[in-house]
Structure 1
Amino acid sequence: MTARIGVITFPGSLDDRDAQRAVQVAGGEAVALWHGSHDLQGVDAVILPGGFSYGDYLRAGAIAALAPIMAEVKDAAAKGMPVLGICNGFQMLVEAHLLPGGLIRNAHQQFIRRDQKLTVENNDTAWTSEFSRGQEIIIPLKNADGGFIASADTLERLEGEGQVAFRYQGVNPNGSLNDIAGITNEHGNVVGLMPHPEHAIEPGFGPDTATAMRSGTDGVPFFTSAIAAITHIAA
């Protein structure tokens, strides 16, 4: 079977086409979904892409979290569907209470764009199984509201139950507590992160590596992991 992965477009999304391209490069079928619809079109997984949904008015991701299609995303996630939130999509997931914590303005109060080193902390999720635990990867980062926050009790639970999926390495670019770059829910089907794996899928267009400029493809395993999870569920 070919995994069908939906990518939702919201007003202000700007990385939806990139996410669709990443799904295709990984071998899946990308399905364009619309924020105002209540139809997930029978997809096997969903991606909430990066951008500035509704201009980031109110709080980043807060208005998009109330979009009609998010009711279907919540129901599907509760039934185990893989859901990935990238940057603005991560912000939507926490605003929709599909992931704990919150995301606030970067500590230095400025937009940042850099090729960011990450450590894979949890490779037992629908979106990380193709990585090795402790693996170092380079994924592009671009955000203004990327500081992850949570209560002391929530942080303790995230750390104790292995729900930290990715951690910043070398530098903390936005002041996130515990250097957290991405987290997962307790079931491992919902993952959110601030860096953009869809921008590291093809040689010539990804981050710089020690091998060559723009050669990084560390984002591919996110999408092949999801396809493998979908195939396993179908089997």
Structure 2
Amino acid sequence: MKVSVLQFPGTNCEYDTQYAFEKLGADVEIVWHKDKNIPLDTDLLVIPGGFSYGDYLRSGAIARFANIMDSVQEYAANGGKILGICNGFQILLEAGLLPGAMKRNDSLHFISKYQTLKVINNDNTFLSLLKKDDVLNIPVAHHDGNYFIDNAGLKDLEENGQILLKYCEENGEAKNLNGSVSNIAGICNKEKNVFGLMPHPERAMEELLGCDDGVNMLKGFLQ
């Protein structure tokens, strides 16, 4: 499987992402933001975490206009699979490839820690190897992770099975980590080929480093 990983000025998780997918047996290529086309043999496009363009103006707002993004839009429209992690999720929101927006955490502080998540919907490629209501332990690291969507948009997400992950306590009970509407940590589009989440599964690949709950998340794309 060929995984292409985008790289912007300020991206800092591209090599973690490369390591994670290579560990799962994928062929990974880093793609620079000034390129105009993603590789033709791409099976999965990943927009990794970091602080593209220093998060100036608004997280992901400048990266959304990079040369490569026209190719990303076309790839998504043709059914290509895209995963946005943290800043990558923010970029997908800014690009209109996922619904909603990101705000500053309600605490106004950067949050960096392991956080438990509940699987809400697994009828998609990303979470196909997990069960509904599974609880995962995945690192988070964000300042602008407060997901917002209006009531009509939230209803659409719920009705279409687009809510993938929610923040929770270790026992699976609901937890509001950062102010996100309905505790949402990850969503997908209606077609279920574009996925975004704030937590970092690529940082949860080995027990030696604290947890390997990210393995079956990313492995879903390789089936």
Same fold (TM over 0.5): yes
2:195 to 191, 194, 209: 191
User: Which amino acid is the alignment partner of residue 31 of structure 1?
Assistant: E
User: Which amino acid is the alignment partner of residue 21 of structure 1?
Assistant: Y
1:201 to 177, 181, 205: 205
Match of 1:146 in 2: 145
User: Which amino acid is the alignment partner of residue 56 of structure 1?
Assistant: D
Tell me by how many angstroms 1:172 deviates. 1.9
Tell me by how many angstroms 1:15 deviates. 0.4
How many Å separate the matches in 2 of 1:154 and 1:196? Answer: 25
User: Which amino acid is the alignment partner of residue 126 of structure 2?
Assistant: W
Match of 2:38 in 1: 40
C-alpha contact 1:27 1:224 (8 A) present in aligned 2: no
User: Which amino acid is the alignment partner of residue 3 of structure 2?
Assistant: I
What aligned pairs does 1:110-129 form with structure 2 within 5 A after superposition? 110-129=109-128
Tell me by how many angstroms 1:30 deviates. 0.9
What aligned pairs does 1:26-37 form with structure 2 within 5 A after superposition? 26-37=24-35
How many Å separate the matches in 2 of 1:192 and 1:145? Answer: 14
Secondary structure of the corresponding residue to residue 74 of structure 2: helix
Q: Does 2:221 align with 1:221?
A: no
Q: Does 2:177 align with 1:173?
A: yes
Q: Does 2:162 align with 1:158?
A: no
Structure 2: tracts of 5 or more residues without a match: 170-174
Runs of 4 or more, structure 1, over 4 Å off, are none
User: Which amino acid is the alignment partner of residue 213 of structure 2?
Assistant: D
Deviation readout 1:118-158 (Å, 9 max, x if unpaired): 01111122211111111111100010000000111001111
TM-score, L = length of structure 2: 0.95
Match of 2:172 in 1: none
Tell me by how many angstroms 1:222 deviates. 2.4
C-alpha contact 1:40 1:72 (8 A) present in aligned 2: yes
How many Å separate the matches in 1 of 2:122 and 2:26? Answer: 20
User: Which amino acid is the alignment partner of residue 80 of structure 2?
Assistant: M
TM-score, L = length of structure 1: 0.90
Secondary structure of the corresponding residue to residue 39 of structure 2: coil
Tell me by how many angstroms 1:44 deviates. 1.1
Structure 1: tracts of 5 or more residues without a match: 206-213, 229-235
Secondary structure of the corresponding residue to residue 68 of structure 2: helix
How many Å separate the matches in 1 of 2:3 and 2:206? Answer: 19
How many Å separate the matches in 2 of 1:221 and 1:50? Answer: 19
Secondary structure of the corresponding residue to residue 72 of structure 1: helix
How many Å separate the matches in 2 of 1:91 and 1:118? Answer: 19
Match of 1:107 in 2: 106
Tell me by how many angstroms 1:187 deviates. 1.2
Secondary structure of the corresponding residue to residue 165 of structure 1: strand
Could you say what the CA RMSD is over the residues aligned between the two structures, in angstroms? 0.9
How many Å separate the matches in 2 of 1:124 and 1:70? Answer: 27
Number of positions where the alignment pairs a residue of Structure 1 with one of Structure 2: 217
Tell me by how many angstroms 1:174 deviates. 0.7
- Which of 138-147 and 73-82 deviates more? 73-82
How many Å separate the matches in 2 of 1:122 and 1:35? Answer: 32
Tell me by how many angstroms 1:39 deviates. 2.1
Match of 1:53 in 2: 52
